């Protein structure tokens, strides 16, 4: 089991950040993602395997004034 923005999500072997984004239906183009406090760059989302028990934060970046 992992936690994504405070919500429990079933973990599975080999789960990547891209898998989480698809499962949670996150489609916003500007995201910052951290796993256990470590920011994971966008170019690693397809390969970065999220460990069981991880705390994942998905932050939507918004411009404004």
Domain boundaries, the chain: 2-60
Reduced to 3 states (helix: H, G, I; strand: E, B; else coil), residue 34 is: strand
pTM of the complete model: 0.89
pLDDT, tens only, 1-52:
999 999 999 999 999 999 999 999 998 889 999 999 999 999 999 999 999 9
Q: Give, as one character, the DSSP assignment of residue 32.
A: E
CATH 3.10.20.30 fits 2-60, yes or no: yes
Please provide the average confidence, as pLDDT, over all residues in the chain: 94
Q: How confident is the model at residue 65, as a pLDDT? A: 60
| Element at 23 (helix H, strand E) | helix 17-24
**Token representation of residue 59:** 């932050």
Reduced to 3 states (helix: H, G, I; strand: E, B; else coil), residue 33 is: strand
């Amino acid at each position: 089991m992992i936690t994504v923005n405070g919500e429990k999500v079933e973990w599975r072997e080999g789960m990547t950040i891209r898998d989480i984004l698809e499962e949670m239906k996150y489609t916003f183009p500007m995201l910052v993602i951290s796993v256990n406090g470590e920011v994971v760059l966008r170019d690693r989302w397809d390969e970065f395997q999220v460990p069981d028990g991880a705390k994942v934060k998905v932050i939507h970046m918004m411009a404004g004034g």
